[in-house]
Amino acid sequence: MAEKTDSASAAVTSEPKRSWGDEVEDETPEEPSASTTESELNVGGLAIDENKKFNKFLDEPEDSNIKAVTSGDTPYTSASTFEDLNLSPELLKGLYVDMKFQKPSKIQAISLPMILTPPYKNLIAQAHNGSGKTTCFVLGMLSRVDPKLQAPQALCICPTRELAIQNLEVLRKMGKHTGITSECAVPMDSTNYIPIAKRPPVTAQIVIGTPGTIKKWMSARKLGVSCVKILVFDEADHMLAEDGFKDDSLRIMKDIERSGAHCQVLLFSATFNETVKNFVTRVVKDYNQLFVKKEELSLESVKQYKVLCPDELAKVMVIKDRIFELGENVGQTIIFVRTRHSASTLHKSLAELGYEVTTIQGAQKQEDRDKIVKEFKDGLTQVLISTDLLARGFDQQQVNLVINYDLPVKHENRTEPDYEVYLHRIGRAGRFGRKGAVFNLLLGDMDKMLMEKIERHFGTQVAEVPSWNSNEDFKGALKAAGLL
Ligand code: ADP
Ligand code: MG
């Protein structure tokens, strides 16, 4: 996976100083990290055929409650099959043969007609984790590109290198028979480094990358945007958040606007908090909108648990004695930690106890990050420790267990949970309706308070595992989650 994208990419070695997703150390956060009448649409009428459940192993995310608000009077009909979308035969082949998809998920059924129907309105789309948002914008980009024009026509911006690479892989697989060209704009690993000035201009029709590199390519005039007609932000709430990539994202949007091309903007995420939503609805004009209430955002197929731990060693013991031992039969596991420091301490403790584990965090070299992700995706490693670098977007269907070694908290106020990050972390399990379990390891009153706030925010009850050192209790929890 890495070869494909790396050979096609070029940029400078160190992307955003504020690489999102993990903190350098405990004390210093690394990164401050329509006017038209809108009519409420009855999405019940857009519901796709519930009777055609195609995979009995999946508890499909179809019953997800997505509400649509459309602007103007363009009528949209939900697509119950991919054929309904008038996709090219080449794309249909990619979907059925290469992706092995059978029918659109709910967000695909609703959003794709909005994306593909003239006048190509902007779209702000919220849908659950693992519900198939990537396919919405990948099909959007692949369908709208003119294959005869060898120039960048679609841009997709993602918060991390890992997500840009993952999205590019989906695009290349889905678009395999279309002949459409693509390039990954992420920081280059040090061994292949070529300065941007020495590179030829980008001719690929679709460019997927991180904001720093995209901006750099644009200002070096190597990435022309005059033909760009579709601009996608994946994890859009983070891309437009003050403590995220707001400045870069706005700058890219403005530069494209200034180049005169009419460009459709698509914003996708599982979360849009009120602040971001208010901001987004001011900067994006004349948009259709799909959204989900926060109380309906948690995945029902992913069981959430809390485990009260008396001290830090108990947390390590839970991972060693329960997660490693029981998790083996369950699938792959991601352990989320808040800081890089915490990642390496935990890694060391487990390694000293003789357990094999890999760790990913933002301070590692690009090529090491790529290697660790590849090994995990290939199933060569079973347990991965990660900072919030992988909290968003990372898609690995075999991940059934997520451990919150630390609860996610806001950078500016550690007594306040980061609700969005929590939701994204737990959404790494239970992809596309699969079953999963999350264990939140709580230490002390502060953690209990944070957990309560999270429960209140999402209107969910997080069950307590009675004892941190009882094998039976953990087995019971995994059974109740449908994993054993
Ligand atoms: P999201 O971005 O909404 O969190 P993804 O786009 O990463 O979710 O999709 C989650 C998983 O579901 C991926 O592994 C993807 O291949 C799979 N998937 C998406 N759409 C379909 C579909 N129509 N049929 C079967 N699997 C799908
Ligand atoms: Mg996604």
pLDDT per position as a tens digit, 123-147: 999 999 999 999 999 999 999 999 9
Give the residue whose CA is nearest to atom 4 of ligand 1: 130
List the beta bridge partners of residue 41: 68
Q: What is the pLDDT of residues 327-373, one digit of tens each?
A: 878 999 999 999 999 999 999 999 999 999 999 999 999 999 999 99
Average pLDDT, the chain: 88
What the block records as the tokens of 353 is 């106890």
Nearest Cα residue to atom 20 of ligand 1: 132
User: Phi, psi at residue 232, to the nearest 5°?
Assistant: -115, 135
Mean pLDDT of 456-473: 96
Tell me how far apart the terminal alpha carbons of the chain are, to the nearest angstrom. Answer: 32
pLDDT at 93 over 80: yes
> Model confidence over 316-327: pLDDT tens digits?
999 999 999 898
Identify the bridge partners of residue 69 per DSSP, sorted by sequence position.
Answer: 40, 289
Taking 90 as the threshold, does the pLDDT of residue 407 lie above it? yes
- Strand ordering across the sheet containing 399-404: 358-360, 383-386, 332-336, 399-404, 436-442, 302-308, 463-465
Alpha-carbon distance values, 411 to 244, 443, 475, 478 (Å): 11, 19, 35, 32
Alpha helices (runs of H) in 117-267, residue ranges in sequence order: 133-144, 161-174, 211-219, 236-239, 246-258
The rounded Å distance from CA 377 to ligand 1 centre is: 15
Cis ω before 89 (30° cut-off from 0): no
234: left (phi over 0), alpha (psi -120 to 50) or beta: beta
- Rounded CA gap, 115 and 122, in Å? 8
Ligand 1 atom with the shortest distance to the CA of 133: 3
Q: 170-197, pLDDT tens digit by residue?
A: 999 999 999 999 999 999 877 888 888 8
The bound ligand whose nearest atom lies closest to the alpha carbon of 64 is 1
Whether pLDDT at 248 is above 70:
yes
Tell whether the model's pLDDT for residue 45 goes beyond 60: no
- pLDDT score for 43: 35
Q: Return d(Cα 448, Cα 408) in angstroms, integer.
A: 13
Q: What is the pLDDT of residue 260?
A: 82
**Residue 3 in this model has a pLDDT that exceeds 90:** no
Q: Does the pTM exceed 0.75? A: yes
The answer on pLDDT for 82 being more than 90 is: yes
Instruction: Assign 3-class secondary structure to 430-453.
Output: CHHHCCEEEEEEECHHHHHHHHHH
Query: Quick one: what percent of the chain has pLDDT higher than 70?
Result: 87
Probe target for ligand 1 pocket from 59, 83, 133, 135, with the most ligand atoms within 8 Å of CB: 135
**Both tokens of residue 483?**
């994993």
22 neighbors 66 (Cβ within 8 angstroms): no
Residue nearest to atom 5 of ligand 1 (CA): 132
CA distance 447 to 301: 24
- 314 Cα–ligand 1 center, Å: 36
Nearest 5°: the CA angle 268, 368, 214 is: 40
pLDDT at 51: 35
Return the ligand 1 atom nearest residue 104 CA: 23
Q: How far apart are CA 379 and CA 398, in angstroms?
A: 8
* Confidence grade of residue 64 (pLDDT, cut at 50, 70, 90): low
Q: Is 387 in the pocket of ligand 1 (CB under 6 A)?
A: no
